[in-house]
Amino acid sequence: MSLIQITKKSFLIICSFFLLWYLTSTYYYEQELLSYKNEEKLTAVNLTYPSTLLPNTTPTSTPDESYTTSFNSLKELNKKFCGKPKCKFLFAYALREQETKANMHFRSFCQLAEKLDRIMVLTNVGSSRIGTCHNFPFDFYYNTKLIQEVFPKVQFKSENEFSYWLKERDLLKKKLNDDEDDEVIPPLSVFHSYIKLHRNTHNRSYYDDSEINYDFGCISKFEPSMNLEDPKNSKVKYTKYYIDESDLMSERRRIKFSESFSKTFTMNDDILFMNANVIHPLFPQEMPIIPYSEYILNEAKRIKNKLSSSYIAIHWRLEQSNPTLLPECAQGLIMTLKKVMKEEGIKNIYLATDYPLTSSKSQSDTFTSITNYHHEAIRAINETFKINTWVSLGGLKQLRENRLYNEELGGPGIQGILDKLVCVNANYFISGPEGCSRVVSTFTKVIVSERNERLKNRDHSLLNTIDRWQMPL
C-alpha cells in the first residue's frame, strides 16, 4: 500500500469522524475544553474556523490529474495557493521527543512562522512524534481547525498541500522556461537549518554555515519536484544554529534570544527547512497545547461513559522503574487502590501504561527491556482488580480494524494521546512513586496542570489532582 493511499484513506476517515462528531457532540466539546491562560493547557476555542482550513479545500493526495498547470505565471500560482505573490514556507520537518514535548516544539515553530510571516507546514505525525518521516497527516493527532484559533495570524498548509505547490511550481517552470518569451522561473530557494541545543557553547548561542552532515529525514520524498541536489532545480543553503541552553531557561532570557533567533531567519527564500533538537520553548510566551483531533477526544469521552463516568486512572510508566522494586510497587498500588476505592466509592480502574497491551512490543519506543518483574507486577494488579485499558474497552476500534494502523497502535502512538485525555477526565488520578515509575514526566505534568485547571473551575467530578501511590511499610 503506498503512502499516498494511506494518507488519503486516513484523511477520509478523519473527515468522516469530524462530520459525525460535529453533528452529535458540539455540546460535549464546549464542555470539555477549558480556557487557555497559560502554557500547558488544552485550549478552549470557538468551533468556527477560517474556511481556508476546511477539509474540502485541501487538495487530496496527489492523483496526477489534480495538477493543472493552468497557471500562467508563478505569481498567479502563488496568489491562488497562498494569497500572496510569493509563497514562503516554514517547514519544521523533524522535531525530537515524544508527543507531549513535540507538541510544545511545534508551537514554538508556529510562533516563529508568525514572526517571519511564513506559511507553517503541518508536519506529518506518527509513533507519538511529529516528523515528516511519519505516515499520517497532522490531523490524525491534532485539530487543524482549532490550531488556527491558537495562531490566528499564521497560515497553515498540510504536507499534501505543500507537495501540491511544489509540483505545480515545477510543472510551471518546465512549461515557461522552455519558451524564451516567457517569464523565467528561478530555482527553488531553500534555506536549511539544523537547530540544536548545546550545553557547551561558552554561554552563547551561535549560528554558522555548516557542512551537509546531518540527517535530512525523509524530505527526499518531495522529489523530483524538489530535487535539492540539482542546482538548476534548487538553490540550497545549509546552516546550523546552536542554542545555548541558558538562553532558554527563563522568560526574560527567551525575550532576548527569540528576537535574535527570529532575526537570523529573516530571509526571502521560498522554503525554510528546520530540523530541530531543542527541549525548551524558544519564545517567552508558551502557547497552549495544540488541540487534539475530535476523534481522539470522542474516544476519551466514550471510555469515560463506559466506566459509568466514575473511575480511578493510574498512570504507570514502567520505563525507568527499578525492576527489582516492582513486586513491592504492585503491592503498594493494590493497597492504595483499595483505600481510594473504599473511601471514594469508585469501582472502576483505568490503567494507562507503556506496558505492552496489544503485542509484545512496549507502548514506548525507548522502553525495550521488559522483564519478568514487569510481567509479574502487571499480573498481580490484574488478578486483584478488573483492570480496564484502552484495549479492553475497545478504544480506537475503527483504527484497530484497519491494518494500516497496526504499527501505530502496536508501539507508542495515538493511544498515548487517548490515555492522556482519559487520565485528565478521571475522578481520581494516581501515578507511581520514585523507583516504581518514571516520576519526572511531561506527560504527567500536562495531566496535572489540566486537572488543576479543572479544579480551579470547580469541576466537582475531580476528587484530586495527583496522588503517588504508597509503598508497603
Ligand X SMILES: *[C@@H]1O[C@H](CO)[C@@H](O)[C@H](O)[C@H]1NC(C)=O
Provide, rounded to whole angstroms, the least separation between the CB of residue 394 and ligand X. Answer: 13
Count, residues near ligand X per rule CB under 6 A: 9
- Going from the C-alpha of 454 to that of each of 36, 423, 464, 465, the distances in angstroms are 11, 13, 10, 9
Given 335, 341, 380, 387, the residue binding ligand X (CB under 6 A) = 387
* DSSP assignment letter at 434: B
The residue among 301, 313, 312 whose CA lies nearest residue 344 is 312
Given 202, 232, 403, 458, the residue binding ligand X (CB under 6 A) = 202
Per-residue mark of binding to ligand X, 28-67 (x: CB under 6 A): -----------------xx---------------------
Nearer to ligand X, 296 or 378 (CB): 378
Provide, rounded to whole angstroms, the least separation between the CB of residue 428 and ligand X. Answer: 19
Provide, rounded to whole angstroms, the least separation between the CB of residue 46 and ligand X. Answer: 4
Angle at 441 between CA 352 and CA 102, to 5 degrees: 95
Query: Quick check: 6 binds ligand X (CB under 6 A)?
Result: no
Provide, rounded to whole angstroms, the least separation between the CB of residue 349 and ligand X. Answer: 11
Cell, residue 255: 525575550
Nearer to ligand X, 45 or 77 (CB): 45
* DSSP assignment letter at 186: P
Query: Quick check: 26 binds ligand X (CB under 6 A)?
Result: no
Strand partners, 193: 239, 274
Residues 340 and 352: their CA atoms lie apart, in Å, by: 18
Residues 378 and 374: their CA atoms lie apart, in Å, by: 6
Provide, rounded to whole angstroms, the least separation between the CB of residue 146 and ligand X. Answer: 10
Query: Quick check: 203 binds ligand X (CB under 6 A)?
Result: yes
Q: Which stretch binds ligand X (CB under 6 A): 275-283, 290-298, 381-389, 394-402?
A: 381-389
Query: Quick check: 389 binds ligand X (CB under 6 A)?
Result: yes
Residues 6+ apart with CB under 8 A from 112: 90, 261, 262, 265, 282, 283
* DSSP assignment letter at 16: H
Q: Which of residues 341-370 bind ligand X (CB under 6 A)?
A: 357
Cβ pair 123, 159 in contact under 8 A: yes
Query: Quick check: 380 binds ligand X (CB under 6 A)?
Result: no
Provide, rounded to whole angstroms, the least separation between the CB of residue 387 and ligand X. Answer: 5
Cβ pair 131, 140 in contact under 8 A: no
Residues that bind ligand X (CB under 6 A): 45-46, 202-203, 357, 378, 382, 387, 389
